[in-house]
Structure 1
């Protein structure tokens, strides 16, 4: 198994960060690398729920995704099983800190060959996801 880990401290409460994950409209705004947009067809944010969506790339291509929310522990943890290729498990953990919330992002691939083929995309994309999550939270705080 190959796992890519990153983390980010976000100056917001665990509940505020979780709200940006647990709301399909907000999730669609920030999910994915820079330049991507999303169209969700199914987003059942419960343990065992389905998540079917298309990521629209800045290259004009569409990337279909099928996932299952394997575990949802409000507001501390989300485990997403990506069941379409490439297959992986993404664990997002939220831990309170004095300055806000530490977001831990762990993406595990069972197949090391697949992991090595996508590493050049996954590593920067995971950072961009956290950039976009941070921006979504800041935008919401500005609106409040």
Structure 2
């Protein structure tokens, strides 16, 4: 029905996390910062985390194999497979601890113009409500996601300043 507000499907609403942020840069630059490993490794992760990339191939079916290093010294093995790429508007991915992780979750990132800025939305759907709840409670996924997008925003503003675009 034209104009009707689209609701989240009941089958995923209790399994998802949605985080968004406005980034003060054009969508093409925000997309670039999210899709090139030389950028990703500079801003990816929540406060106090760093990232070591083992391999990276940004294409549909390609993967990013990396380790996130927590502030307490814990290493987290991570694996992202890119399932859809529509530059510079959308990226879909599957994120788990390894290529065949049965608990991997799906994320869709959208990059939409918002005046001269970009509204990035990260919609993550977990296989079960329990896995979503565990991510929220044990791993602070909502706060971590907000911090990660905050790092992205700060990093992109640095790029704009260095390029003399802002």
Same structural fold, with TM-score higher than 0.5 when normalized by the shorter chain: yes
Matched residues, number: 144
TM-score by length of 2: 0.83
What secondary structure does 1:25 align onto? helix
- Distance in 2 (alpha carbons) for counterparts of 1:22 and 1:51: 10
Which of 1 and 2 has greater Rg?
2
Trace 1:1-144 onto structure 2 (pairs within 5 A). 1=12, 2-84=15-97, 86-120=103-137, 121-144=140-163
Please state how far the C-alpha of 1:79 moved relative to its aligned partner: 1.0
Distance 1:74 1:108 in 2: 22
Alpha-carbon separation, structure 2, partners of 1:142 and 1:105: 25
SS in 2 for 1:47: coil
Unaligned runs of 5+ in 2: 1-11
Tell me how far apart the structure 2 counterparts of residues 21 and 10 of structure 1 sit (CA, whole Å).
12
Unaligned 5+ residue runs, structure 1? none
Q: CA deviation at 1:34?
A: 1.0
Q: Partners in 2 of 1:44 and 1:13 — Cα distance? A: 24
How much does 1:83 deviate? 3.5
Cα distance in 2 for partners of 1:116, 1:80 equals 20
Q: Which runs of 4+ in 1 moved over 6 A?
A: none
Report the secondary structure of 1:19's partner residue.
helix
Which has a greater percent of strand? 1
Q: CA RMSD in A?
A: 1.2
